[in-house]
Amino acid sequence: MPETTKITIDPVTRIEGHLKIEVEITDGRVTNAWSSGTLFRGVETILQGREPEDAWLFTQRLCGVCTYVHGVSSVRCVEDAAGVSIPDNARIIRNLLMGGLYIHDHPVHFYHLHALDWVDIVSALSANPGAAKILADTISPSAPTIDFEEVQTKLRTFVNSGQLGPFAGGYWGHSAYQLTPEENLIYAAHYLYALREQVKAAKMHAIFGAKNPHLQSLRVGGVTCEKQVTSTRINEFKTYLNQLKDFIDHVYLPDVKYLASKYPEWASIGGFNNYLAFGEFQNGNSPWDNYLPGGVILNGNLAEVNDVDLSKISEHVERSFYAGTSARHPASGETIPNYTGYDTKDRYSWLKAPRYNGEPMEVGPLARVLTAYAKGHTDMVKLVDELLTQLDLTMDNMHSTLGRVAARALETKLIADQMDNWLSQLNTGGSFIVSPDIPTTGAGAALNEAPRGALGHWINIDDRKIANYQMVVPSTWNLGPRCSAGKKGPVEEALMGTMVVNPEEPVEILRIIHSYDPCLACAVHIIDTNQDKTYTVQVIK
């Protein structure tokens, strides 16, 4: 008889928010999986009865990681309801702020949230710093000079103190780690280096957004940073951008490519085949005219990319802790909490289960990269083809865990390079905001692409107040539970068949989960203090 083991990872760490993953392993492979958001998000309820113009201030505080995306989605949503067309300068500033978020968020994910699934920090202590420098120069000759001996000393201080800090709780020494001590030391050094680089992206946000996180220059009708759009401030923004482009070109991209070359088997593990992208970085006032195009890909067929039809989106709650069993379109959605106890045979998550025409869809960098590639986006095609050639891979290999990791890096370079063009389009003497006329009654929708994926906001206005507000966020698409048809969510499906060497140290499962960059703070928010379930908690870092 096959031997089946059940693993519960609760909470999953190195993510934002609260996520529980439960899997069954039979003969060393995952044969079933359940993804559970363990807290309730109540922001939609909080917004009811408030002024539509104020919604962005609340929604932006869903999370301090992807901060800006809910703010801009919210103002676009109200602008849609009010029929507002914003000035070109406002559109460009919003593109620059969104771009700043991408080039902050993607490297942070790679180095600080995901890298430790591939990099054995403790192994770096036995590295030869001189050999590490020679290898680093080979990987990227133009990378900044780093004192690897100094980095190793810092790591040793952590270990000798008995407090590994952010590196505590890892599966150090696990056979799934395949890097040499010198390679591990290089990635540990770049982990620390990237911490400093991310500050520059935050400063870019502060120039046109006043602060980071939770930017302040958004308004329904445009942006309020007109006085900051001077040649001096533009040049300051450009200086930080150029420094980050150097980091992307000479550290981040080479590191991703080298890591992929050391773990080639992961180019065929953890894949999914349905993709949804709304598109982002608006070229004009149409939500469908974007630098990164939107589209729908089914069954991995890049030869056929369909246009997005918003009427085909529905949210299922039959396996979620919400009242009712009916699937609803977000425009008429309900958020009525109804905790019934965790039961994988019934309801087991505070996340709803979004579906597109009844199908689960992966959203995020890989969905955007594949959509752009399939639609012939010249710059994206060049980047993807170069990557595949260098790593001796095919397009089929993009449907994988490594595909998601690589897509983030390629997209980061693409957007960082494009930001120069947006900066050059700013008109310091032009308009930045118009006065909106909020309707007495109305409805609006707004789409954008958060770094983690497709994001939608829907609003209903009655008596100039918010009557209903619904958000479908990226991690709900990716990490949602089964729907009424019993179809697994993307992460649940991506885990199926994965080989797990040691069920007590399931690093392979974490590699797939983290490749989606979960952000449960956007998906769930308020704990149900009346629940009486007791969970076995295993903290994995």
Q: What is the pLDDT of residues 93-113, one digit of tens each?
A: 999 999 999 999 999 999 999
| pLDDT (tens digit per residue) in 303-320 | 999 999 999 999 999 999
CA distance 310 to 183: 46
CATH number at residue 8: 1.10.645.10
**Is 483 annotated as catalytic?**
no
* Peptide bond connecting 503 to the previous residue in cis, omega within 30 degrees of 0: no
Catalytic residue among 318, 362, 522, 525: 522
489-518 residue pLDDT tens: 999 999 999 999 999 999 999 999 999 999
Model confidence at 532, pLDDT cuts 50, 70, 90, reads: very low
Give yes or no: 126 in active site.
Answer: no
Using CB atoms within 10 A of its CB, is residue 526 exposed (0-12), middle (13-18) or buried (19+)?
Answer: middle
List the catalytic residue out of 400, 475, 492, 493: 475
Compute the C-alpha angle 262/267/269, nearest 5°.
115
* Model pLDDT, residue 524: 59
Residue 535, helix vs strand vs coil: coil
Could you report the per-residue pLDDT of 110-147, keeping only the tens digit for each?
999 999 999 999 999 999 999 999 999 999 999 999 99
Q: Please, are residues 60 and 440 in contact by the beta-carbon 8 Å criterion? A: no
* Phi, psi for residue 5 in degrees, rounded to 5: -120, 140
pLDDT of 536 higher than 50: no
Q: How many independent structural domains does the chain possess?
A: 1
pLDDT of residue 225: 97
Determine the pLDDT at residue 259. Answer: 98
Per-residue pLDDT tens for 19-46? 999 999 999 999 999 999 998 778 888 9
pLDDT score recorded for residue 287: 86
Which one of 14, 35, 41, 66 is the catalytic residue?
Answer: 66
Q: Is residue 539 part of a domain?
A: no
In a domain, 165, yes or no: no
Per annotation, catalytic residue among 63, 77, 225, 483: 63
Residue 491 lies in a domain: no
pLDDT of residue 1: 60
For 240-260, the pLDDT digits (tens) are: 999 999 999 999 999 999 999
263 close to 471: Cβ distance less than 8 angstroms:
no
Asked if residue 408 belongs to a domain, the reply is yes
Residue 529 lies in a domain: no
16 is an active site residue: yes
pLDDT exceeds 90 at position 185 = yes
Burial class (CB in 10 A: 0-12, 13-18, 19+), 418: middle
Residue-level pLDDT at 468 = 96
Q: What share of the chain is helix, strand, coil (3-state, %, to 5)?
A: 45, 15, 35
Q: What is the DSSP string of 133-154?
A: HHHHHHH-TTSPP--HHHHHHH
- The pLDDT of residue 534 is 36
Q: Which of 452, 457, 511, 514 is catalytic?
A: 452
**Considering just the CA atoms, what is the radius of gyration of the chain in Å?**
23
Bridge partners, 35 (sequence order)? 21
Q: Of the residues 14, 41, 70, 316, which is catalytic?
A: 70
pLDDT in the model for residue 161:
83
Q: What is the DSSP letter of 62?
A: G
159 band by pLDDT with thresholds 50, 70 and 90: confident
**pLDDT higher at 120 or 525:** 120
Higher pLDDT, 17 or 240: 240
Q: Is the pLDDT of residue 530 over 70?
A: no
Contact partners, residue 306, CB within 8 Å, separation at least 6? 295, 296, 297, 298
Angle at 73 between CA 72 and CA 78, to 5 degrees: 100
Q: What is the mean pLDDT of residues 57-71?
A: 87
Domain region containing 352: 4-117+193-453+496-523
Q: Confirm whether 528 is domain-assigned.
A: no
In a domain, 430, yes or no: yes
Average pLDDT over residues 411-431: 96
Q: Give the CA diameter of the chain.
A: 76
Alpha helices in 210-280 (DSSP H): 231-247, 253-262
Compute φ and ψ for 297, nearest 5 degrees. -120, 125
What's the mean per-residue pLDDT of the chain?
93
User: 227 burial class (0-12, 13-18, 19+ CB within 10 angstroms)?
Assistant: exposed
d(CA 114, CA 159): 21
Alpha-carbon distance 57 to 436, whole Å? 17
Burial label, 157 (beta-carbon count in 10 A; 0-12, 13-18, 19+):
exposed
Residue with tokens 């103002």: 75
pLDDT exceeds 90 at position 285 = no
Which residues share a beta bridge with 331?
none
Token representation of residue 12 = 């999953």
Q: Give me 345's structure tokens.
A: 């045979």
Does the pLDDT at position 16 exceed 90?
A: no
User: Is 70 exceeded by the pLDDT of residue 527?
Assistant: no
Beta carbons within 8 Å of 68's beta carbon, 6+ residues apart: 60, 97, 98, 101, 205, 209, 213, 215
Given the residues 14, 16, 493, 505, the one annotated as active site: 16
Looking at the predicted structure, is the pLDDT value of residue 374 above 60?
Answer: yes
- Is 202 among the domain residues? yes
Per-residue confidence (pLDDT) for residue 94, from 0 to 100:
98
